[in-house]
Structure 1
Amino acid sequence: MKTPSRKSQMHLFAKAIANKERRKLYARQAKPYGGVWFGLGFAGLIGWSVVAPTLLAMALGIWLDFRFPGQFSWTLALMLAGLTIGCLIAWEWVSKEQKRMARTQPPDDFPPSSADDLNPEE
């Protein structure tokens, strides 16, 4: 296994720092996501996307338990179903937002090349 030279390691380190600094400057200038308020709003949106289906399913379960009493708890079963659906909705929204954020990032000035690989498999 070939180990990279010190010069090659320093070159990679300098490229990584340059890319990171450029992304920070871009984020400060563009403010593409609205800052803190965007983050708080998005957190609230995700929270309600989980809570709303859970509460609706629980309400239906309570109604079913009063209407059709039995050993089986509709409330508990539908609460778990609503929670699962809410989590899937939240996961989908976060995935879409992550993809949107990745698209708006500036491309790397120095994309990694196979020659820059620190751990060659040869």
Structure 2
Amino acid sequence: MKDSNEPRKTHHKRQDNFQQAVKDKANRKMTARKEGDRTIWYGLGMFGIVGWSVAIPTLIGIAVGVWLDLKLNDPYSWTLMMLFLGVIIGCLNAWYWIQRESQDE
């Protein structure tokens, strides 16, 4: 005589295996998040963010400086002053992004 509970046992066994697989995967994800699983792409992305956050204000500073040199007939080089200001603003901007990313850890 065949056991009528056999299909039910097989179903529960598969369900338990599936639940265990889901739990294992969730645990691996949580561990990776806690450990700060950083890839090469993350590093390149941060490098890009820092680079652009310095480059854009610097280029804007140069453009404004050139425009001021053309409009004003001063003995001072506005291009150099605005370049310096753009680099300072860019470095502060990059520092902000790095601080923000390090707080997310």
Band of TM-score, shorter chain: 0.5 to 0.7
* Residue of structure 1 equivalent to 2:73: 69
Q: Count matched residues.
A: 75
What does 1:80-91 align with in structure 2 at a 5 Å threshold?
A: 80-91=84-95
* Residue of structure 2 equivalent to 1:95: 99
SS at match of 1:72: coil
Structure 2 stretches lacking a partner, 5+ long? 1-27
Q: Which 4+ stretches in 1 moved above 4 angstroms?
A: 31-34
Percent of residue pairs identical:
41
Work out which structure has the larger RCO, using CA pairs closer than 8 Å and 6 or more positions apart in sequence.
1
Structure with more helix by fraction: 2
Larger Rg: 2
TM-score, scaled to structure 2: 0.64
CA distance in 2, matches of 1:98, 1:41: 14
Structure 1 stretches lacking a partner, 5+ long? 1-25, 102-122
* Residue of structure 1 equivalent to 2:22: none
TM-score, scaled to structure 1: 0.56
